[in-house]
A = this chain, B = another copy of it.
Amino acid sequence: MPEGPTLSELGETELIRRLGAFAPVGQFGDDAALLGAALLDPAGGADLQLVVNTDVLVEDVHFSAATMGARDVGWRAAAANLSDLAAMGCCDAVGLTVGLVAPGDTPWAWVEQAYAGLTELLGAHGGVLLGGDCSGGRQRLLAITAIGRLAGGPGGPIRRGDARPGDQLVCTGAHGLSRLGLAVLRGEALPALAPAVQERAISAHRRPVPRFDAVAALGASRPEALTWRVAGCDSSDGLAAAASCLALASGCTALIDCRSLPLAPELAGLATAEDWCLWGGEDFELVLALEPTWAAALVEQLPGSRCIGRMGVPQSEGPLVWSDGGEAIPTPSASFQHFG
């Protein structure tokens, strides 16, 4: 046995940091990889900027037959990938490739349904199945790589590290509903919920939607006086984790105003509502840091979006601070660990 730590001992954050050392400086800093004109076409000429994102979804780690059918697995896998493209500033997707691994005794019907869900998502939100590979293996998994175009014209990429103190924090929609859906599907103890509420929660969990529309609204709402500078990522790991991530990458503090939490109305009355809103994850909204006039214009233009706080100057308490009626409360990052 080689000496040194195992992947569980390292943890995911440290593993990604170490893997990033094999890539060009800054290449691993965002939700997805930006392929600028210099990388795509060193000889010059191409005005195109692409974004490439790879996500691996493993059975019993990222999805489970207990909470999701094959069609949902396919939809969700594609949606998560396209959400990362949106989080980088893409208005649409070119398409994606799929590496499928499954044991030989996997029914074709499962694979067929997974690809049906995947192409259903693409049909509704853009992009085509470009290609892929398949192999036998001990566990079902989908390794998806999506390619998107950056919006042309005066637009640019959305990067995690581009926030500045004084920016407003905007999120594009309500949070916590996906976590409620998971609770319903898992049979967790819950107060009685109306069937329509259960249905909306389950659908939020199984059928998330990439927010390309929010990227379009972002471009359309930019005040003419401002050049392009937008920090952001998606909230797949949770709203607080997203804000923390922008703060860390930008060297700022993120202050979430607890009086303005974007609680999904379906969570009303639940004791876990605030927790699920902040830490539930899998809502796949965008969390953006914007110059205040731009933030106001976006919130006015995009229904469901709201200002949830602001970026501040770095403080000693840590990168993410939850401002509760003026009182600053440090909160730890608690992103999902896949090697746990």
* Residues of chain A at the chain B interface (Cβ within 8 Å): 1-10, 12, 15-16, 18-19, 22-24, 27-28, 32-33, 35, 39-41, 43, 45-48, 50, 52-58, 61-62, 94-95, 97-112, 115-116, 118-119, 128-139, 141, 143, 145, 147, 149, 152, 338-340
What is the CA–CA distance of A121 and B149 in the complex, to the nearest angstrom?
Answer: 28
The A interface is mostly helix, strand or loop, or mixed, namely mixed
What is the CA–CA distance of A10 and B55 in the complex, to the nearest angstrom?
Answer: 27
Q: Can you pick out 5 interface pairs between chain A and chain B where the beta carbons lie within 8 Å of each other?
A: A15-B111, A19-B111, A27-B129, A40-B94, A134-B338
Contact B129 A22 (CB under 8 A): yes
Contact B136 A7 (CB under 8 A): yes
Shortest distance between the CB of A18 and any CB in chain B (Å):
7
What is the CA–CA distance of A15 and B15 in the complex, to the nearest angstrom?
Answer: 35
Whether A7 contacts B104 in the complex (CB less than 8 A), given A27-B129, A95-B39, A149-B40, comes out as yes
**Cβ-defined partner of A131 (8 Å) among B23, B50, B110, B119:** B23
**Cβ-defined partner of A135 (8 Å) among B1, B58, B137:** B58
CB-CB under 8 A from A45, the residues of chain B are 47-48
What is the CA–CA distance of A206 and B43 in the complex, to the nearest angstrom?
Answer: 33
**Cβ-defined partner of A116 (8 Å) among B1, B22, B61, B115:** B22
Shortest distance between the CB of A90 and any CB in chain B (Å):
13
CB-CB under 8 A from A16, the residues of chain B are 134
CB-CB under 8 A from A141, the residues of chain B are 101, 137, 141
Contact B99 A135 (CB under 8 A): no
**Cβ-defined partner of A23 (8 Å) among B23, B101, B112, B128:** B128
CB-CB under 8 A from A24, the residues of chain B are 128-129
Beyond known contacts A19-B98, A58-B137, A135-B339: 11 more, CB 8 A cutoff = A6-B106, A6-B107, A7-B102, A15-B108, A19-B100, A19-B115, A23-B128, A28-B131, A56-B143, A101-B143, A136-B340
CB-CB under 8 A from A12, the residues of chain B are 134
Residue of B whose beta carbon sits closest to that of A74: B22
CB-CB under 8 A from A62, the residues of chain B are 135
Name the residue among A27, A56, A103 with the largest chain B CB count within 10 angstroms: A56
**Cβ-defined partner of A33 (8 Å) among B28, B33, B131:** B131
What is the CA–CA distance of A103 and B110 in the complex, to the nearest angstrom?
Answer: 24
What is the CA–CA distance of A8 and B134 in the complex, to the nearest angstrom?
Answer: 12
Shortest distance between the CB of A187 and any CB in chain B (Å):
23
What is the CA–CA distance of A188 and B141 in the complex, to the nearest angstrom?
Answer: 34
Contact A56 B105 (CB under 8 A): no
